[in-house]
Amino acid sequence: MSREEAAAKRAVDVVVLTMNDRDREFRDAMDSVLAQQGVDLRLVIVGNGVRPDYVPDGVQSVTLPTNTGIPEGRNVGTEALACGNAEFVLFFDNDAVLPDPHTLTRLIEEFDRHPDAAYVQPRIADPTTGETLGRWVPRLRSGDARRSGVVTVMAEGIVLVRRTDFAAAGGWPGHFFLFHEGVDLSWRLWDLGRVGWYAGGIEVHHPATNPARHKPFYRMVARNRVWVALRRLPAPLVPVYLAVWVVLSVYRFRTSGSLGVWFRGFAEGLRGGHGERRPMSWRTVWRLTRAGRPPIV
């Protein structure tokens, strides 16, 4: 490799969390990242309440004494690599796979084509069925998963973010523990005047699992919806947003047998704990609305 080629490589920090519970999937995930070409990679594995039992050569690791949750674990990993001043940070689930060694360079090309983008979201597909779940397509009309465009939220498990924008937004809301942290971060990035970009032509792999398999799912999705509203919305929109999500959630979960848990989580959110309130500007509300997703849905 020439000196010019080495200098042309873009720097990417990669943050991966583990709880030592997916040995084969985790190794495949790391192999796919380490196989990426044309980028200058630095990786950190954050053991969330465990000491990572697999750390490839040249990869940094951090051990957290307790499970701090996904968003805070990612904050810790990002900070662990902060001294290198990489241009981008890839947040990557430990059961995901980059199926092509040029996936990251293709995602970076999307940033170059869309300089106002703070983050680029690839199309996530199940490696066995090829299915892209609706919740993986970060827009309201998710039927055509291959259609690219501006988006206002993100699927947090596999997303590439400009490090400067991530720092300006204040990182992930660590105390959310799990669920909806991507809504909070996306809205803050939009409030900086940035946008999100969904690259439907760039495929990555992730098994199509049901998030309700997590024991605290119904409580945390309700609590964190309230927290997002209290943290980020102008006061007149807070009751509108919450009313919309009560109706949607009752409809979605009416046969789950867990509506009582959901409403207890909703009440927990109303009691506080959301952290700093920094509502978006009305200009951002208008920009989000023009982009196809007013911040009440």
- Give me the residues paired with residue 232 across strands: none
CA gap 153, 195 in Å, rounded: 9
Helix axes 259-270 and 217-232, enclosed angle (nearest 10): 30
Residue 130 has pLDDT above 50, yes or no: yes
Query: Is residue 96 very low, low, confident or very high in pLDDT (cuts 50, 70, 90)?
Result: very high
Mean pLDDT of the residues in the chain? 95
- List the strands of the sheet with 149-151, edge to edge: 60-64, 39-48, 10-18, 88-92, 158-162, 117-125, 195-205, 149-151
Residue 214's pLDDT is 67
CB atoms within 10 A of CB 245: 20
| Mean pLDDT confidence for 2-15 | 74
Q: Which CATH number fits domain 12-209: 3.90.180.10, 3.40.50.2300, 3.40.190.170, 3.90.550.10?
A: 3.90.550.10
- Domain(s) labelled CATH 3.90.550.10 in the chain stretch across 12-209
